[in-house]
Amino acid sequence: MIKKALLLAADSKRLERIIGRSRLTKPLVSRYVAGTTLDEAVAATRELNAKGIDVSLDLLGETVSDLRESADATAAYVDTMHALATGSPDSTVSVKLSQLGIGLDPVVCVGHLKQLLDVGAESGISVEVDMEHSSVGPQTLEAFRSQLPSHPNTRVAIQAAMRRTPEDLCSFSDVKPRIRLVKGAFLETIDKAIVDPAEVTAQYQHLAGWALQNLPDPAFGTHDDSCVELVKATAARLGISKRDFEFQMLYGVRRELQEQLAADGYRVRVYVPFGSRWYPYLMRRMAERPANLMLFLRSVVGD
């Protein structure tokens, strides 16, 4: 119930205006968001790099209302990629196709995605395509698939909670995709998604084992100890090097675990969001970790 309420709140423009204006939320926001500017995001990236941790930068913002906004977002990502190439060449950027205009004009959106992929090929900064709500899920996979032959290093996020995910993965027959396996953080109907947390975890673990055996360079987006340990054990049993897959975690979440995994020789990448549109992102993080809700509420009321 709490998770559903938080996911509904994530889409509330009214709450976003109210909470976004409150300076009292800044301490909590700064834990999970690297700042509002590219310079702040690059500084956070370099701090993580110094600890042996790679980064994927995410420019906050989701569905756009006109194609000019999608062009602006694309240009901002180009600037981000150039900034990363000069000091953090092992970084990636994570893009949401709703931000590139997939809901307005899929052809224009794919053009923006291709532009970023071409910049990535020149700069060495790979692109990761985020998976969003099921309303744009099929279009996201179609756009990703269309660019895969010419840009095979592109990664796409796959949500374990979605019922069609096993079918989606098996549909890649010509080119095996690079994926980031996550549980999923969007409010979905029961016909489209598994809602029981234990079942989602079981599905995640099953798909993680499958990915290690069948896909190149899989990434596992998880903070769940049981999932981390399963990935480690499965990789060891299959004789897969610690450098042939990676763990991905969120900025500000389980920082000690991030550093320990890196110290143990595993590849670790932290998803680092930046920008002014932090509210929907933060609400989804609260939904994933309801224990943080009280901390958030206290920051809002100034307690």
Q: Examine the residue annotation and report whether 130 is marked as an active-site residue of this protein.
A: yes
- Residue 261 neighbours by CB distance under 10 Å: 21
Determine contact, residues 120/150, Cβ cutoff 8 Å.
no
Q: Which residues are annotated as a binding site for FAD?
A: 131, 159, 183-185, 222-223
Q: Which residues are annotated as a binding site for substrate?
A: 96, 284-285
CA trace torsion 61, 67, 69, 70 (10° rounding): 50
Active-site option among 54, 168, 178, 180: 180
Active-site option among 54, 58, 130, 168: 130
Residues 253, 254, 260, 261, CA torsion sign:
negative
Q: Which residues are annotated as a binding site?
A: 96, 131, 159, 183-185, 222-223, 284-285
Q: What is the full DSSP assignment across the chain? A: -HHHHHHHHHT-HHHHHHHHT-GGGHHHHHHH---SSHHHHHHHHHHHHTTT-EEEEEE-----SSHHHHHHHHHHHHHHHHHHHHH-TT-EEEE-TTTTTTTT-HHHHHHHHHHHHHHHHHHS-EEEEPP--TTTHHHHHHHHHHHTTT-TT-EEEEETTBTTHHHHHHT--SSPPEEEEE---S---TTTB---HHHHHHHHHHHHHHHHHHSSS-EEE---HHHHHHHHHHHHHHT--TTSSEEEEETTSSHHHHHHHHHTT-EEEEEEEESS--HHHHHHHHHH-GGGHHHHHHHHHT-
Q: Examine the residue annotation and report whether 267 is marked as an active-site residue of this protein.
A: no
Positions marked catalytic: 130, 180
